[in-house]
Amino acid sequence: MIAMLKYAVLGLVALLMLLPFADMFIGALRGPDDVFATPPNYFPTDPQWNIYARVFDELPMGRWFFNSIVVTTTITALQVATSTMAGYALAKYDFAGRDGVFRLVIGAQMFPFFLFIIPIFFLLRFVPLAGGNGLTEFGGSGLLGTYAALVLPFVVTWYGVFLMRQFFVTVPDDIIEAARLDGASEFLIFRAVVLPQVGPALWTLTLFAFVYHWNEFIWTMTITRSAPELQTLPVGIFLLEDQFNTLDQKSLQQAALAVSVAPVMILFLLVQKQFHAASGAGTR
């Protein structure tokens, strides 16, 4: 009886969590008759299935998707690489200043990214020999207006370093020493011995990084104001909001939002087992 009650509560909570997403996908299918009915029809009587095809015909969704995929996957791959290497070094190597670096990693998480938008913007603007800049003259745009400007500020994530360090600490030192005695190089130990031990943490970091940067808005908006060809899905849909005045256009916007969250949902479904494994390891 207790087990049935527990699953019933979990099912209800899961239903409540899915309701906003269901409303987004279904809401785009509603026509004027459903919206203006009294009371309004939640499930459309005449679903406008062509609305999702119109999203790609009437909006530059292909370009936005391409930009989002390039930027997000590049940032995610770089963050996983830098976080695993830095986390491993902080967990398994004894070097001068290690504790100080770890304290810096913890302390840096208290400062939100938007505090550094202006200095990072100017750093990218005045990169020598880029975008029309010279070695001493900076009349060009630097790296602004390029994919590099969207990626470089996020190459390292303090949270990722901290997360991976905490998981690497749990890896026994004995297996590392045994691999060294067998003649394995440090990189081989890291790649073939240690990384397989923290697989769930890698997938968790991948999921967190991908979801965050797929939806990242403030920095992308700042950079793409002068380079609209680099707009990602969140920015592109937001900037078109003022053009969505009619009910049909509102449905088109809702359909675009539904399409934009689909890759994130698919990724979570693919890695949910590893994510739950990492959550279980973290509670032990």
- Describe the crossing of helices 61-92 and 98-108 by its angle, rounded to 10 degrees: 150
In this prediction, residue 284 carries a pLDDT of: 47
Lowest model confidence (mean pLDDT) among 124-128, 215-219, 224-228, 267-271: 267-271
In this prediction, residue 270 carries a pLDDT of: 80
- Write out pLDDT tens, residues 171-185: 999 999 999 999 999
Residue 23's pLDDT band (boundaries 50, 70, 90)? confident
Q: What is the rounded distance in angstroms from the CA atom of residue 58 to the CA atom of residue 53?
A: 9
For the cut 60, the answer to whether the pLDDT of residue 169 exceeds it is: yes
Lowest model confidence (mean pLDDT) among 32-41, 48-57, 218-227: 32-41
Euclidean distance between the first and final Cα of the chain, in Å? 28
Reference 216, options 75, 29, 27, 24; nearest CA is: 75
Domain positions in the chain are 1-49, 58-283
Q: What is the rounded distance in angstroms from the CA atom of residue 138 to the CA atom of residue 126?
A: 6
In this prediction, residue 151 carries a pLDDT of: 96
- Write out pLDDT tens, residues 216-265: 999 999 999 888 999 999 998 888 776 666 666 777 888 888 889 888 88
- State whether residue 185 is helix, strand or coil: coil
For the cut 60, the answer to whether the pLDDT of residue 278 exceeds it is: no
CATH 1.25.40.10 fits 58-283, yes or no: no
- State whether residue 60 is helix, strand or coil: coil
In this prediction, residue 81 carries a pLDDT of: 96
Q: What is the rounded distance in angstroms from the CA atom of residue 134 to the CA atom of residue 40?
A: 62
Tokens of 159: 């949270």
In this prediction, residue 84 carries a pLDDT of: 96
Q: Is 127 in contact with 143 (CB distance < 8 Å)?
A: yes
For the cut 60, the answer to whether the pLDDT of residue 279 exceeds it is: no
